[in-house]
Amino acid sequence: MTEFTATARADSSVADYVALLKPRVMSLVVFTGLAGLLVAPGNVNAVLAAVAILCIALGAGASGAINMWYDRDIDAVMERTKARPIPTGRVAPEEALAFGVVLALASTMLMGLALNWLAAGILALTIGFYVFVYTVWLKRRTPQNIVIGGAAGAFPPMIGWAAVTGDVGLGAVALFLLIFMWTPPHFWALALYREGDYAKAGVPMMPVVAGPSATKTQMLIYTVLLLPVAALPAVLGLAGWVYGAASVALGLAFIGFALRLRLEEGISGARPMFAFSILYLFLLFALLIVDRAPGLLGGPWS
């Protein structure tokens, strides 16, 4: 272990530590957290808004680093993850863990001191949920891992909302539910075309345990249920008719991808559905931000 640690330290770079933060996942977390901050009623100045977004980003990165530390054994055997910093020896496991823990504590404390302790508490809950509930408890034990564990990825808009208001309203819950319902079909699309990877690592993702057919059925059900959930921000007055119409149009397109995948014999539609799922969530939250834009000078950024 001593030799490995020394080698890892010698070969580590800033890029390796950035990779530990899972920057692609972090970018979506930050984006949805920003949307929650902007649509929330109330005011917070630009500096505090930037601090809140920084804390959300650092919290997401902390979760990613600790996840990579715990999953280093299965990451080493999966094609998608074997080039990560820990399996390749570029970062020692204990250094990755320490990095994640420091970021988790720093982001939570900064959020509490600069904004409010409710937002800090939800941030801490998010990190803890991702690490202990999803990574440690669910991921290797049940095919429902991503359904329950997906809550961790749904908290960021709620954190942004709480940073502005100091409470959690129906609007924050609506944004939470949108991401929560979106996560299973999004992640199962990835799991379908990476089924061999998960099977090799012994991770009981839905396609591995229940098979592609049952997984595709579940994905279709979730996309149908997502349609009315995605419209809730318009129903609650968080966004206008443009968002409402777009949520329906995008939702029907998402259902179309899921239906096409369900009806085909193979899984060739999984990759396009996965790609569209990312676009779907990005566009919905972009529309929420744009819908809020006319009031920005008198709103959160004032």
Coil/strand/helix, residue 87: coil
Per DSSP, the chain holds a count of helices (H) and strands (E) of 16, 0
Q: Which residues lie below 8 Å from residue 36, measured CB to CB, with a gap of 6+?
A: 156, 157, 158, 159, 160, 161, 172, 175
- pLDDT for res 293: 62
Residue with tokens 């984006």: 31
In this prediction, what percent of the chain has a pLDDT beyond 90? 88
Residue 285, amino acid: F
* Cα-based distances in Å from 188 to 45, 162, 213, 230, 240: 39, 30, 12, 19, 31
Residue 35, amino acid: A
- pLDDT for res 302: 34
Instruction: Determine how many CB atoms are found less than 10 A away from the CB of residue 225.
Output: 14
How many residues are recorded in the chain?
302
Domains of the chain with bracketed CATH:
11-298 (1.10.357.140)
Q: Say which DSSP state 90 is in.
A: S
- pLDDT for res 44: 84
Record the tokens describing residue 139, joined without a space. 């991921």
Phi-psi region of 82 (alpha: psi -120 to 50; beta: other; left: phi over 0): alpha
Under 8 Å between Cβ of 138 and 71: no
| Euclidean distance between the first and the last CA atom of the chain, given in angstroms as a whole number | 53
Return the closest-CA partner of residue 192 out of 217, 170, 174, 159. 217
C-alpha span between 196 and 295 (Å, rounded): 49
User: pTM of the entire structure?
Assistant: 0.91
- pLDDT for res 15: 94
Coil/strand/helix, residue 19: helix
Low-confidence ranges of the chain (pLDDT < 70): 1-12, 293-302
- pLDDT for res 68: 97
Phi-psi region of 84 (alpha: psi -120 to 50; beta: other; left: phi over 0): beta
The count of C-alpha atoms lying within 13 angstroms of the C-alpha of 272, restricted to the half-sphere facing its C-beta, is: 12
Q: Quick: pLDDT tens for 89-124.
A: 999 999 999 999 999 999 999 999 999 999 999 999
- pLDDT for res 291: 83
Burial class (CB in 10 A: 0-12, 13-18, 19+), 236: middle
Q: CA dihedral defined by 145, 149, 154, 159, rounded to 10 degrees?
A: -170
- pLDDT for res 126: 97
Under 8 Å between Cβ of 129 and 155: yes
